Amino acid sequence: MAANSAPREETIAGVAWRCDGDQCQGSADRKANLDGLVRECKKVVAVVGPVASYKSGGRELSDGQVRACNKAAIQVQAARN
């Protein structure tokens, strides 16, 4: 996300997310679902845009996985334009 973005809130796949500047954090009452971590990340970047890192449920994406996740955001944004 752009560092100068205004604070915003989004609900993505049933999870409440709050983004402020270049930091976003999601909070859910339940444990992770059956989605893989990269698939989960793709749902987030489709709404908030590319991310620098992604962590969920104690797991963190590798740099290569983050690139794959962000590629989905670029494709979604291109389709919207």
Q: What is the pLDDT of residues 1-28, one digit of tens each?
A: 444 567 889 888 888 888 888 888 887 7
pTM given for the model: 0.68
pLDDT at 81: 66
Query: In Å, how far are 7, 16, 37, 56 from 68, measured between CA atoms?
Result: 26, 23, 11, 16
Name the pLDDT band for 72 (thresholds 50, 70, 90). Answer: confident
Boundaries of every domain in the chain: 8-80
Q: In the prediction, which pLDDT does 23 show?
A: 85
